[in-house]
Amino acid sequence: MKFTQSFEITRWEQAAYDETGAIELGRATVGKTFSGDELEGTSTAELLMVGTPDGPAAYTAVERFTGTLGGREGSFVMLHGATADQSSSPGRIVAADGDLAGLTGAVVYEHDERGARVTVDYELP
């Protein structure tokens, strides 16, 4: 099953943990709310980020969604990331529990003039 849905970022707490030289390493805790036909719930992501004097360079995230997917309740964990020259952030579903146990699939996050959205392509047993 594949769908695309918008989401809202509800929390962003960011701090640098290494500011040696011109390259900054940072960490952010990000909260999101998903309200739609397929995905309904919230998530929390922990991002590790690289910044340069020219701006963001890359990030990687581990994110747990809790709520319902396709009418089934549970949670799942995604691993995703991108570099600054990518227009999207691809990732994978790496673990799931509750009624979502056995969930597999891919995710793609996008942020542009059309807003914040995620595409999920998944299979449930």
pLDDT in tens, the chain (125 residues): 999 999 999 999 999 999 999 999 999 999 999 999 999 999 999 999 999 999 999 999 999 999 999 999 999 999 999 999 999 999 999 999 999 999 999 999 999 899 999 999 999 99
pLDDT at 7: 97
pLDDT at 21: 94
| Domain 2-123 CATH assignment equals 3.90.650.10 | no
Q: What is the DSSP letter of 85?
A: T
Q: b/e string for 17-33 if b means 16 or more Cβ within 10 A? A: eeeeeeebebebebebe
pLDDT at 71: 95
